[in-house]
Amino acid sequence: MKLTRTADVWWKNAVVYCLDVETFHDSDGDGHGDFRGLIQKIDHLHALGVTCLWLMPFYPSPDRDDGYDITDFYGVDPKLGSLGDFVEFVRTARDRGMRVIADLVVNHTSDQHPWFQSARSSPDSPYRDWYVWRDQPPPDGDQGVVFPDKEKSVWQYDRKAKQYYQHKFYKHQPDLNVANPAVRDEIARVMGFWMELGLSGFRVDAVPFLLETDRVQAVDLPDPHDYLRDLRAFLSRRNGEGVLLGEVNLPYTETMKFFGDGVGDELHLCFDFIGMQQMFLSLAREEVSPLTHALKERPQPPRDCHWATFVRNHDELTLDKLTEPERQEVFAAFGPEPDMQLYGRGLRRRLPAMLGGDLRRVKMVYSLLFSLPGTPVLFYGEEVGMTEDLSQEGRLAVRTPMWWDAAAEQRRDPDSLLAWTRKLVERYRECPELAWGAFQVIDTAEPAVFAHRCDIDGGTVVAVHNLAEAEVSVQLPGLGGIAALTDLLVDGTVEVSSDGVAEVDLGAYGCRWFRARSGS
């Protein structure tokens, strides 16, 4: 695999690390993190092997939704630093070989945003049509509520405006009207501003909600996907290496549309929510068929697009695409108490706690993440085994301050989760087959063993994972033309028989990666 063929699509084998500046590192003792603190810890991320940092919102905000309620898309929240601090951080990250992307949260604003305050002040306000208004809410106004524990409708009456405004999320987050050309132009200006300050792209928040225009009272609405194509084209004109990573939690067939069906001219990356949920069902059952089925069903993205894979993100661990019985299986295994669950659809827990602190099992799951086809995305603290704080409200349970003491301890321990994660990142970056190769599940007779191979340009990597505690010896068929498998995680070689079968031993929750050696 020639690097000259891959450098301009760097995100296909990136290691993405998501963090919240406010909870990462506090440089001045005022009780919350800041950009200067993040700069001080940049070498931790460099040593880990991170190649792309994804920043959660750092913009000015009343902070009623952990920064996702924004009052100024062109600024930095003063408690986190200044624009100067931001630029210095981006420069320092670049010096360590890391690109930076940030949340693009433009489906709504805070109700304290000057645009909304102007919009509600008068029907003649130039910002009135920047939001979605109605004299009366539609009959289905109680449908599609994202946070059913907090909201009963997606419409809220504003006494000053004397109309109802739409809010798909919280009532203090009025939706922007993306059908308005002025709004679309402003979103492009926001993107252009931050790219001029060094960003390499954006994680686009709640993409289907951003593009939804079916409730807007207007004529000749633009095709939503035409708009997404316009954003992609604008990004590429301003920055040829720029990337759009989309939060699209839809069935595979629907998600494919957000890549740009068959063309690949919309989002570069989409999170694989289906595969993640089926993985947790497999972990709960200690049986691989849900994950295997999902990966066999997962469509191949267009050529210059890719799936983003993850174990945990910054929201609740959503299980909304599982059936109700399946969801209850995962709840019973990993979050049986009511306060561990959220919205009836997800878990507000981190992986080590869900797995009872079993380091063997935790390490196996992250090995699975880095070996699956797709761009791996880590949430801050995963590399040191952070757990949740259930005393915090809602999603904040998994957004607590980074465990720097644990990182310091694990840095000296070769058997720690931190050391293991570093090894996985290093091996992943050494194996272009995993990012670029053709993926194939290897069927075995063991229900708890997931095996797959990735092939490109004559190179083959095989990965095998045991989802159960029982030790097992498993046969891997279909390896014709391969003489031996060389272990990439520990020393060792497995011979392949003349009929193309290798026998691999796996311990409890064991995992092994192999590079194939040709038989010719």
Active site residues: 205, 247
Q: How far is CA 42 from CA 85, 130, 203, 318, 379, in A?
A: 14, 39, 20, 30, 15
Separation between Cα atoms, residue 270 and residue 247, nearest integer Å: 6
Q: Tell me the β-bridge partners of 203.
A: 103, 245
Q: Which amino acid is at 449?
A: V
106: DSSP letter? -
Question: Is the Cβ–Cβ distance between 307 and 375 less than 8 Å?
Answer: yes
Closest among 253, 258, 363 to 311, alpha carbons compared: 363
SS3 category, 61: coil
Tokens representing residue 68 in the block: 């996702």
Query: What order do you get walking across the sheet with 317-318 strand by strand?
Result: 317-318, 346-347, 341-342
Instruction: Report strand pairing: 317-318 vs 493-495.
Output: unpaired
- Are 197 and 86 a contacting pair, CB within 8 Å? yes
Beta bridge partners, 133, equal 165
Partners of 270 in beta bridges: 246, 307
B/e letters for 359-394, b = 16+ CB within 10 Å, e = fewer, are: eebbbbbbbbbbbbbbbbbbbbbbbbbbbbeeeeeb
Which residues sit opposite 295 in a β-bridge? Answer: none
Residue 370, CB-side half-sphere exposure with 13 Å CA sphere = 31
Residues 6+ apart with CB under 8 A from 505: 471, 472, 473
Q: What angle do CA 173, 176, 180 make, to 5 degrees?
A: 170
Residue 342, token pair as written in the block: 């959220």
Phi and psi of 459, rounded to 5°? -100, 145
Q: Is 405 helix (H, G, I), strand (E, B) or coil?
A: helix
Please check whether residue 492 is in contact with residue 475, taking contact to mean a CB–CB distance below 8 angstroms: no
Q: What angle do CA 14, 15, 19 make, to 5 degrees?
A: 130
Both tokens of 486, joined, read 């060389």
- Among candidates 386, 402, 393, 311, which has minimal Cα distance to 66? 393
DSSP three-state, residue 165? strand
